[in-house]
Structure 1
């Protein structure tokens, strides 16, 4: 069943879009990621212009993240104080990222930036997560897992402006979550992602937060950052396709509730390994698209003032 998207200016299959939204919502509930790392490339693969895919994908993440947060909130797995500090950095970062996005869109380089950003970040993060999670699974099966401290201490834990986050059992510098939030905010604006694929590993391995609290807290921050990105893109670049966003949101909400139930029954290392594999698959597809010969070898661009 074809549906015409006014901003993207193409027709798409209704059931394909609904299926994509449901699948991304499922991932959101399972892994604590907004799912934008998968949604934006999927939209691009179906023919949606990259700029529209980024802005609209960010809008869809709002609904998926709200649904996931509500489920985790009922289980008491959201650190509201940590989420607020992350959010402050995220709002500033998303504003800066949107400004950069608008400049590159004007220069005609935004499509290449989106693809290169995905290949770089998904490749690095996916590889590290897969290596770590497989190592944890092997150790647990061999019975060689040693009892560790709640978290490792690095030089960053000695930074000033320390705050106590009781829910996460942490006493760390507020500069750490602020910087992380700022960086993720930039990625959200440029790549149309919630940033969970970076935020979740950083919160676990860098800040030492318990995995059970990380997912709900990550989704809480994603809600407001992606909402801010959607608003800024709609004002500055006019690339938010409302119809596409509504279709994606309606199915993502259902998928997130199902994903939360599935995720609660799986071990942490299993969740991380599955997420890493999906990240690497998307990275591989984007990398191939960059290096393979396109179907259309030539294109015509009409510049203003030419006749």
Structure 2
């Protein structure tokens, strides 16, 4: 089923794009990540221009996040106050990212920057996730008792910040500056790479802010939802790289996939899920690194302006 993408200026297999959106939705429901960190590189592998892939993936992540937030909200798994602070920071970060995106685009380096940033981020995040998953699984495989789990506490730097607020759903009494700055960083990444930022946001919420695990996924999706909405509108008005046909196909699969992923998350062991995700992330990072070092099939191309 071939479908023509007007902004990308090429034809694609519509079923493949829908299935890719479904994979993104499953990841969204499982881990609280938007899934854009996998959608964008997979679209690039398929032949979609990196600028169009990043902008359209941000649009698709919005739909996946709506479905995930609704699912987690029903079981009271969203800290709306914490999410609101991170949304405010994310919107500021998205505007900063828009300026960087336009600057790199005018310099003709945006495609290379997107690919290099993906290799660095996916490689580092995938390695950390792999190490954590193996350490969690090792006691069970060796027949030993696992280490005693300590209560999570926020980072000492977070504790030193002024103007503390109470975040009752997360069980925290910390400065709102910490989640504000965290949301700002995620907003910049969302604008530049088309990612929801959840693959960075979820570990940061756990190990830096010290949030309760039962609200991390839902709160992450809540923040991703609003930041990707702002990112989509900014891309549409400035870079004009959003392909609505591509985003629509991705959304079709992701909304259904998010509900399915939420159901799996309630039954599967988190250690095995993290191990599977880490393996997938590292494979994609290696594939993108390979693409950066290999000469393209076509040295010269003609691009519509």
TM-score, length of structure 2 as denominator length: 0.95
Find the counterpart in structure 2 of residue 299 from structure 1: 300
Note if 1:137 corresponds to 2:133. Answer: no
Q: Deviations over 1:83-113 (max 9, x none)?
A: 0011010000011101110111111110001
Kindly tell me: are residues 151 and 273 of structure 1, through their superposed partners in 2, closer, same or farther at Cα, counting changes over 3 Å?
farther
Q: Shift of residue 152 of structure 1?
A: 5.4
Q: Deviations over 1:151-195 (max 9, x none)?
A: 254233221121111111111121111111000000000000000
* Structure 2 residue matching 1:193: 3-state secondary structure: coil
Unaligned runs of 5+ in 1: none
Find the counterpart in structure 1 of residue 216 from structure 2: 214
Q: Deviations over 1:119-165 (max 9, x none)?
A: 11111111112112221222455213114123254233221121111
CA distance in 1, matches of 2:150, 2:90: 31
Aligned residues: 303
Kindly tell me: are residues 137 and 300 of structure 1, through their superposed partners in 2, closer, same or farther at Cα, counting changes over 3 Å?
closer
* Structure 2 residue matching 1:136: 3-state secondary structure: helix
Q: Is the 8 A contact 1:33 1:197 kept in 2?
A: yes
Q: Shift of residue 301 of structure 1?
A: 6.6
Q: Is the 8 A contact 1:211 1:268 kept in 2?
A: no
* Structure 2 residue matching 1:248: 3-state secondary structure: helix
Matches within 5 A, 1:14-25: 14-25=14-25
Q: Is the 8 A contact 2:6 2:243 kept in 1?
A: yes
In the alignment, which of 236, 239, 242 is matched to residue 241 of structure 2? 239
Find the counterpart in structure 1 of residue 156 from structure 2: 154
Q: Is the 8 A contact 1:3 1:11 kept in 2?
A: yes
CA distance in 2, matches of 1:300, 1:213: 47
Find the counterpart in structure 2 of residue 125 from structure 1: 125
Note if 1:204 corresponds to 2:206. Answer: yes
Unaligned runs of 5+ in 2: none
Kindly tell me: are residues 152 and 243 of structure 1, through their superposed partners in 2, closer, same or farther at Cα, counting changes over 3 Å?
closer
Q: Is the 8 A contact 2:152 2:207 kept in 1?
A: no
* Structure 1 residue matching 2:211: 3-state secondary structure: coil
Find the counterpart in structure 1 of residue 107 from structure 2: 107
Find the counterpart in structure 2 of residue 52 from structure 1: 52
Q: Is the 8 A contact 2:7 2:241 kept in 1?
A: yes
Kindly tell me: are residues 192 and 147 of structure 1, through their superposed partners in 2, closer, same or farther at Cα, counting changes over 3 Å?
closer
CA distance in 2, matches of 1:152, 1:4: 49
Q: Deviations over 1:201-252 (max 9, x none)?
A: 1111111112221101000000110010000000001100011111111111
* Structure 2 residue matching 1:171: 3-state secondary structure: strand
Kindly tell me: are residues 42 and 153 of structure 1, through their superposed partners in 2, closer, same or farther at Cα, counting changes over 3 Å?
closer
Find the counterpart in structure 2 of residue 272 from structure 1: 274
* Structure 2 residue matching 1:164: 3-state secondary structure: strand
Q: Superposition RMSD on alpha carbons, in Å?
A: 1.7
CA distance in 2, matches of 1:12, 1:100: 30
Q: Shift of residue 300 of structure 1?
A: 5.7
Q: Is the 8 A contact 2:154 2:211 kept in 1?
A: no
Kindly tell me: are residues 154 and 139 of structure 1, through their superposed partners in 2, closer, same or farther at Cα, counting changes over 3 Å?
farther
TM-score, length of structure 1 as denominator length: 0.94
CA distance in 1, matches of 2:9, 2:88: 35
